[in-house]
């Protein structure tokens, strides 16, 4: 299933291993290493990163939505067609 992670960006939920906050030092290192290896996908549209999605293939996806928002969408199965246009309100 696909979920909307903000600003028209969509990911496959079956490939997500973890949804974490970008604040801790280990996650910052993970993101930096992924960027250096070309394995980071920036889906923030220039906004502050509020969630990091760790994917099965060692890629990381950066999102401007809160981890709780994304996790809620995964849990409820809220796909891209029902996500609405309220992304700006969540930031």
Give the predicted TM-score (pTM) of the model: 0.86
Whole-number pLDDT of residue 86: 53
Q: Does 75 reside within a domain?
A: yes
10 Å CB burial of residue 76 (0-12, 13-18, 19+) is: exposed
Question: Tell me: the pLDDT tens digits for 24-83?
Answer: 999 999 999 999 999 999 999 999 999 999 999 999 999 999 999 999 999 998 877 665
Confidence of residue 91 (pLDDT cuts 50, 70, 90): very low
Q: Does 11 reside within a domain?
A: yes
Whole-number pLDDT of residue 83: 54
Cα gap 43→64, rounded to integer Å: 7
The boundaries of the domain holding residue 27 are 2-80
Whole-number pLDDT of residue 42: 98
Query: What is each CA distance from 28 to 31, 64, 83, 84, in whole angstroms?
Result: 5, 15, 28, 30
Q: Does 85 reside within a domain?
A: no
């Amino acid at each position: 299933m696909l979920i909307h992670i903000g600003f028209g960006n969509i990911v496959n939920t079956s490939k997500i291993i973890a949804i974490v906050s970008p604040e801790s030092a280990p996650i910052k290192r993970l993101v930096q290493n992924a960027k250096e290896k070309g394995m980071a996908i920036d889906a923030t549209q220039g906004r502050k990163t509020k969630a990091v999605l760790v994917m099965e293939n060692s890629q990381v996806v950066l999102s401007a939505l809160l981890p709780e928002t994304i996790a809620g969408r995964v849990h409820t199965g809220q796909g891209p067609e029902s996500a609405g246009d309220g992304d700006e309100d969540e930031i």
